[in-house]
Structure 1
Amino acid sequence: MFHASVTRSAIDDDFPPLYRDQEMSVSRSRMISHPGNGICFTMFDRFMLFLAWAAAILFVLAGCMLTYEVIARYFFIRPTIWAAELSQLCLIWGALLGMPWALAARRHIAVDAVTRLFSPTAQRGIEIAAMACIFAFSVMVTYKGWEIFYESFERGRTSGTMLDLPAWVAELPVAIGFALLAIQAVIEIVGLLRGKDIPKGAHE
């Protein structure tokens, strides 16, 4: 107990209340996302966290490129041919790669004003149904997204812009992101069926 109290005190001292609550909520979501703490679930969870950090870096890069473009265009009258398109690619890859982590940490927008009125058993059933819908939709998008990517890759389509990048560069993350989202939805369903607490989200 002494070790636990010291650890909790250290956490309280190191993190402000807002960020401490976020950290605890995300940690709780991670525990829920891999029931039984199996090694496969743990490895997938760490992989999703890595992708979340990669997505965050891509968002920062997109912001830096757009800032540079604005300064170069309006202050030096020297617009670039790469900033807009590359920043769009960063946003596409970042948004799609970050989806699985956002689902596990319950960072997606959720309207639960009505579901809170139901019993815990009914709420669990609704949550499972929602995850099943996410899984079904993700599988369909993954299948169609892969078809579009493969066709562009096979035919050598390009973006038609000044950079003229291969079109599949912006299409591949659709298949990858939704495939990972489908896997995360299955993990959430397994956790709920095994009696794990329904995640309440990590919204401020």
Structure 2
Amino acid sequence: MFDRLMLLLAWIAALLFVVAGVMLTYEVVARYFFIRPTIWAAELSQLCLIWGSLLGMPWALAARRHISVDAITRLCKPGMRRLLEIIAMTVVLVFSVMVTFKGWEIFLESFERGRTSGTMLDLPAWVAEIPVVIGFALLAVQAVIEIVGVIRGKDIPEGAHE
């Protein structure tokens, strides 16, 4: 079930990246060919990139599409590799939980105070802050799934380079 959610969020993230590209292309054409810059394209494309990046993190972890340096772990025996994988995923988990809680505090304060972006659109600041909470909470869940998988004997993926 969680795998399906992660795949859906990965597709949403990909769509958000495409939308950001379209908006930025429109902005360039409007600005340089028609001398009519927009007030919305840059800010909305930034939001698309923020949401896309943060929603895509858990899928990237599950699919091993993140940057990973495995020069040393490849030399280790399987038992040591499993231990190192558990340690790495525990670090991801702890960091994700910390960011989730701090992100929640920041979001809540912005929401309660009615903080805005201070730009021409003057969007609520929490619109760019809540994806941090969502993305890192989901990343924490995925890290737990990875740890449980390694403990249960699941093969450790080598990464996307193979």
TM bin (shorter chain)? over 0.9
* Equivalence for 1:32: none
* CA offset digits 1:2-59 (Å, max 9, x no partner): xxxxxxxxxxxxxxxxxxxxxxxxxxxxxxxxxxxxxxxxx11100100000000000
* Equivalence for 1:125: 83
Q: Which amino acid aligns with 1:152?
A: S
Once the two structures are TM-superposed, the CA of residue 203 in structure 1 deviates from its matched residue by 2.6
* Equivalence for 1:139: 97
Q: Which amino acid aligns with 1:143?
A: F
Tell whether 2:119 aligns with 1:161: yes
Tell whether 2:146 aligns with 1:184: no
Q: Which amino acid aligns with 2:45?
A: S
Tell whether 2:13 aligns with 1:46: no
Q: Which amino acid aligns with 1:151?
A: E
Once the two structures are TM-superposed, the CA of residue 185 in structure 1 deviates from its matched residue by 0.1
Tell whether 2:51 aligns with 1:93: yes
CA distance in 1, matches of 2:154, 2:8: 24
Structure 1 segments, 4+ long, off by >4 Å, are: none
Once the two structures are TM-superposed, the CA of residue 115 in structure 1 deviates from its matched residue by 1.0
Partner of 2:133, secondary structure, is: helix
Structure whose CA Rg is larger? 1
CA distance in 2, matches of 1:79, 1:92: 22
TM-score (norm 1): 0.79
TM-score (norm 2): 0.99
* CA offset digits 1:97-123 (Å, max 9, x no partner): 000000000000001011111111101
Tell whether 2:62 aligns with 1:65: no
- Identity over aligned pairs, percent: 81
2:67 to 109, 113, 126: 109
1:171 to 129, 132, 143: 129
Alpha-carbon RMSD: 0.7
Report the number of matched residues.
Answer: 162
* CA offset digits 1:46-82 (Å, max 9, x no partner): 0010000000000000000000000110111000000
